[in-house]
Amino acid sequence: ELPPSEFMQVADSTWLVLSVVSNGREAPGCQATGVTKIARSVIAPLAEHHVSVLMLSTYQTDFILVRERDLPVVIHTLAGEFDIYKEEGGECVAVTSDDVSNGFLKPKPSASPMLHPVQSPQTRFCVLTVAPDTLPAIATMLIDVLFYAHSPPWDAATGSQDLDSITFFSFSLIEGYISIVMDAETQKRFPSDLLLTSSTGELWRMVRIGGQPLGFDECGIVAQIAEPLAAADISAYYISTFNFDHALVPEEGIAEVIQLLQQRQESG
């Protein structure tokens, strides 16, 4: 419904949403959550079959967006590990590999995915949710943060942003469930009794992937982060955006995360 505009850039692909509500045959003792929980069963297999994904973690669950034209490859890749359903008229209908075998092409082997640089600003983040009926009470504040908050510092000498700190605010409304990511300083502007978080109230640090906009044709970007963190049983909250990918990890584990990713970069 949005009118065409020179100010709005739209990716040329149509994407479908995969909602992962099972962990396949993953060992029940695995404690990882977020993207690392599905790293071995979903993220890595799709990367191996050269499927580009957009990852969106929310307070409630995780979603993977895949291009519509890649759906046959996705189903063939995941059918051995998961029961797959499609939504038709509000009902879930089972899908089998036979349903999409027409036109399926086995992917050709290719070189290993590129390992992108990662950056870790010092900013501390909160992962929150809010009850939909209390949303009007913070609507004005949300608008102010979304559209009028200051941009991160700009270094005139290098022509780039100062990544010691980063301005990042994510708001998603999916089937009535609200999920918000904001930095700890911005959280202080909101009424504390309306924003809900985990009982521990943990803070998160960010790893941003990509020294330049990544595009949508490359695969293996999410796997670059998810696989080593899954091997170390470290939880992560992952958000793909139009230009970059962002992984949030518990603050106390950021040093180990950076070390793991640097080791992978060097070995790659």
pLDDT tens for 156-204 read: 454 455 557 788 999 999 988 999 999 999 999 998 889 888 766 789 9
The answer as to whether 185 is a domain residue is yes
Domain containing 88 equals 15-99
The answer as to whether 241 is a domain residue is yes
- Specify the pTM: 0.82
Confidence band (pLDDT; 50, 70, 90) for 75?
A: very high
Average pLDDT, the chain: 82
The answer as to whether 225 is a domain residue is no
Q: Buried b / exposed e across 155-190, counting CB within 10 Å, b at 16+?
A: eeeeeeeebeebbbebebeeeeebbbbbbeebbeeb
Together in a domain, 209 and 245: yes
For the record, the structure tokens of 19 come out as 């909602």
What is the number of domains present in the chain? 2
Q: Output the pLDDT for position 24.
A: 45
Tell which residue, 162, 142, 159, has the closest CA to residue 151: 162
Of these ranges, 18-32, 37-51, 94-108, 196-210, the one predicted with the greatest mean pLDDT is: 37-51
Residue-wise pLDDT for 29-48, tens only, equals 444 568 888 888 999 999 99
The answer as to whether 229 is a domain residue is no
> For the ranges 66-70, 106-110, 121-125, 208-212, which has the lowest average pLDDT?
106-110
Is pLDDT above 60 for 101? no
Together in a domain, 36 and 79: yes
Mean pLDDT on 203-208: 93
Q: Output the pLDDT for position 87.
A: 85
The answer as to whether 209 is a domain residue is yes
